[in-house]
Chain A
Amino acid sequence: GAGVSQSPSNKVTEKGKDVELRCDPISGHTALYWYRQSLGQGLEFLIYFQGNSAPDKSGLPSDRFSAERTGGSVSTLTIQRTQQEDSAVYLCASSLAGGREETQYFGPGTRLLVL
């Protein structure tokens, strides 16, 4: 079946603008994760959704970052008033139920460049 998809593949924006990044997890996967990969910080956890439970937002770097997951499926990561340090690859992953031994399936990522 289809894997995790993300859109757009690439996004170039100007400092101060808002951006929305989209993730379509594998159908039937209840757990969804967002990670960020940047040169300076490596791979970092951002946020985790599991079913209808309150998300774990502990990895969001500032209040300019927010995410939602509608209907337990598609997720949108929104960055408001983008800054140059937000430039990174944003990766989404999903797993069947969010267990610690479950394989996470990653999307191809969205490469964000803030000018």
Chain B
Amino acid sequence: SQQGEEDPQALSIQEGENATMNCSYKTSINNLQWYRQNSGRGLVHLILIRSNEREKHSGRLRVTLDTSKKSSSLLITASRAADTASYFCATSSSYGKLTFGQGTILTVHP
């Protein structure tokens, strides 16, 4: 079962622009994670934000979390063609079982 919705489902931008993806979830959480997937294969962990955090940065990535609205956003600044991928949010059970959102397909045009 999916944790919730991600929007937009697809996003197309030019290199240098910022990309923002949103994720909503249904249950209370301990943390929320973002993953990236290239070409429909293995996922790569990007960033984790805990439920008591509101914002977190990692390089060009900025993640926010609003537990009152059960939503999170991922911002990629100064996007590059190499950022083209699918991005998924996921919540984690006590033993790490991940429940994923539906994902956003990001295309960055050179």
- A residues within 8 Å of B by Cβ? 4, 31, 33, 35, 37, 42-45, 48, 50, 56, 59, 89, 91, 93, 95, 98-109
Contact = CB atoms under 8 A, between A and B. Distances in A.
B28 interface: no
Given A42-B102, A42-B103, A109 B94 contact: no
A20 B101 CA distance: 28
A99 B42 contact: no
B93 interface: yes
A48 B95 contact: yes
A61 to B, nearest CB: 11
Q: Is the interface of A mostly helix, strand, loop or mixed?
A: strand
Contact of A104 (B1, B45, B50, B88): B45
B95 A42 contact: no
A37 B95 contact: no
Contacts of B90: 43
A97 to B, nearest CB: 9
Q: 6 tightest A-B contacts by CB?
A: A43-B100, A106-B42, A100-B92, A106-B43, A108-B42, A103-B45
Contact of B42 (A91, A101, A102): A91
A98 B2 CA distance: 21
Q: Bin the interface of chain B by size.
A: 20 to 34
B69 interface: no
Given A91-B42, A91-B43, A101-B31, A35 B95 contact: no
Contacts of B88: 43
B99 interface: yes
A98 B93 CA distance: 10
Nearest to A89: B40
A45 B95 contact: no
Nearest to A44: B1
Contacts of B43: 91, 93, 106
Contact of B96 (A91, A100, A108): A100
A107 B98 contact: no
B35 to A, nearest CB: 8
Interface in B75-92: 88, 90, 92
